[in-house]
Amino acid sequence: MTSPSEPTAQTRRALGVDAHAAAISSRREHFLTLYNFSEGHGLEIGPLDSAISDASLDRVAYVDVFDTDGIRSHYANDENVLIDLIPEIDYPLYVDGGMRTLAEAAAPGAPFDWVIASHVIEHVPDVIGWLRQVAELAADDGALILAVPDRRYCFDRHRPPTTTGQAIQAYESADSRPSIRAVYDFFTTAVAVDTGALWAGRRPPGFSARMHDRATVTAMMERCRAGEYVDCHVWTFTPESFVEQVRELRHLGLCDWYVEKLVPVVGGLEFHAVLRRLRRDGSSADVDLEEPEAGSDMPDWLFDEWTARADVRRQSRKIRRLRKRNRRLRRERDALAGSRRMRVGSVIVEPLARIRRVLRRGASGM
């Protein structure tokens, strides 16, 4: 499905306030095809300057790390953030010198019929704990609308895929900061990519396109060891892995959500998902029958294209194997041709061949 992705910092800078606001409006129009925000009461997590909901039209509250003044002060000198577009924050996490959990901060407005989080889930230190906190705030059958980076089309291209086991480890450790594993994997593998080129099937950049040098990686690890919060992508997903991991966590009793809808963004660096909260009375036990397979909402032409690309890759591997085999056979042939046995054999074979030709001519003349 073709739709606007979240504008990058460079795009925001180039567009300016009015144009960026127009881009966000276009992005909102797409999200309205996923969910009608005019229904019920909602919460948007971490809107910064790119809120998807519109407080002038929707019954929505905003939650972020700091209050409105704190957010604007924090980003006052950041040219990548447009201060004028930061909305009023209703529920700050940081209050009176201490941090509250998401569930604690937004509890006064709960239950929420819908929750939006754009490019948030990949940053949270404990993804299971975060999903459980959002579930605590959501009404039964409430929706969680997510925009999630697709690791294949962003700077996570060469990042090792994260696993359900790692999510469980972070949950049982009650991680409140990105782990040393996450910090190292992020800073050592992030590469500058051309998302459009990747969608066009062109070769991805190699590790020469790394965004951070070894000194930066080491410095970030030391900050992490010292107890600092080092922001990074803690989790990496594809549409397929996202559905699989949500399903697995639910079967383990660690997740109160199921994936209702999954929409890839053709040409973009993200995919969109709508999750539904299980009912608290346990009557949602058969939700696997409703949960889509990854890619089921993908347009037919895109599915065919992905299938064709997979066939091309398989055929390319086969061609490489055959070429390698041919090179080996040529080497063996050349080695045999240069051997003493071949030279001796040719001395014997050639006279015999002449005798056979003479005999054949004689036989034909009889």
Task: Kindly state whether residues 342 and 251 are assigned to the same domain.
Answer: no
pLDDT at residue 12 tops 80? no
Task: Kindly state whether residues 264 and 326 are assigned to the same domain.
Answer: no
As given in the structure block, the two tokens for residue 269 are 């660096």
Is 146 in contact with 195 (CB distance < 8 Å)? Answer: no
Within the chain, how many helices (H) and strands (E) appear? 11, 9
Task: Kindly state whether residues 42 and 157 are assigned to the same domain.
Answer: yes
Is 295 in contact with 239 (CB distance < 8 Å)? Answer: yes
Burial letters 335-358, b for 16+ CB under 10 A, else e: eeeeeeeeeeeeeeeeeeeeeeee
Is 137 in contact with 110 (CB distance < 8 Å)? Answer: yes
Task: Kindly state whether residues 321 and 271 are assigned to the same domain.
Answer: no
| Cα 243 from Cα 271, distance rounded (Å) | 12
| Cα 62 from Cα 56, distance rounded (Å) | 13
Taking only the tens place, the pLDDT of each residue in 61-98 is 999 999 999 999 999 988 888 888 999 999 999 998 89
Task: Kindly state whether residues 289 and 321 are assigned to the same domain.
Answer: no
| Cα 366 from Cα 363, distance rounded (Å) | 5
Task: Kindly state whether residues 64 and 145 are assigned to the same domain.
Answer: yes
pLDDT at residue 366 tops 80? no
Residue type present at position 131: L
pLDDT at residue 25 tops 50? yes
Helices (H), the chain: 9-34, 68-74, 102-106, 127-137, 164-172, 180-189, 195-199, 214-225, 239-251, 300-337, 340-365
Contacts of 27 (CB under 8 A, 6+ apart): 3, 4, 5, 6, 7, 50, 52
pLDDT band at 24 (very low <50, low <70, confident <90, very high): confident
Task: Kindly state whether residues 275 and 351 are assigned to the same domain.
Answer: no
Least confident of 10-24, 56-70, 122-136: 10-24
Which of 216-220, 291-295, 355-359 has maximum average pLDDT? Answer: 216-220
Taking only the tens place, the pLDDT of each residue in 169-208 is 999 999 999 999 999 999 999 999 999 999 988 898 988 8
Domain count, the chain: 2
* DSSP state for residue 146 in the 8-state scheme: E
Predicted confidence at residue 180, as pLDDT, reads 97
As given in the structure block, the two tokens for residue 303 are 């599915």
> Would residue 148 count as lying in a domain?
yes
| Cα 264 from Cα 247, distance rounded (Å) | 19
Contacts of 346 (CB under 8 A, 6+ apart): none
Taking only the tens place, the pLDDT of each residue in 288-321 is 555 666 544 444 444 444 455 556 666 777 788 8
- State the CB neighbour count (10 A cutoff) for residue 95: 13
Of the residues 252, 269, 298, the one at which a domain ends = 298
CA-closest candidate to residue 3, choices 298, 308, 295: 298
> Residue 97: beta bridge partners?
none
Task: Kindly state whether residues 264 and 123 are assigned to the same domain.
Answer: yes
Taking each helix axis from N to C end, the angle separating 214-225 and 180-189, rounded to the nearest 10 degrees, works out to: 170
Predicted confidence at residue 301, as pLDDT, reads 41
Residue keyed to tokens 């397979």: 293
Q: What is the mean pLDDT of residues 49-57?
A: 93
> What is the chain's length?
366
pLDDT at residue 218 tops 60? yes
Task: Kindly state whether residues 72 and 105 are assigned to the same domain.
Answer: yes
Predicted confidence at residue 242, as pLDDT, reads 96
Predicted confidence at residue 2, as pLDDT, reads 46
Task: Kindly state whether residues 115 and 85 are assigned to the same domain.
Answer: yes
- State the CB neighbour count (10 A cutoff) for residue 253: 7
Q: Is 152 strand, coil or helix?
A: coil
Residue numbers of the domain that contains 334: 309-365
| Cα 173 from Cα 182, distance rounded (Å) | 14
Task: Kindly state whether residues 288 and 329 are assigned to the same domain.
Answer: no
CA 155 from chain centre, in angstroms, equals: 9
Task: Kindly state whether residues 247 and 352 are assigned to the same domain.
Answer: no
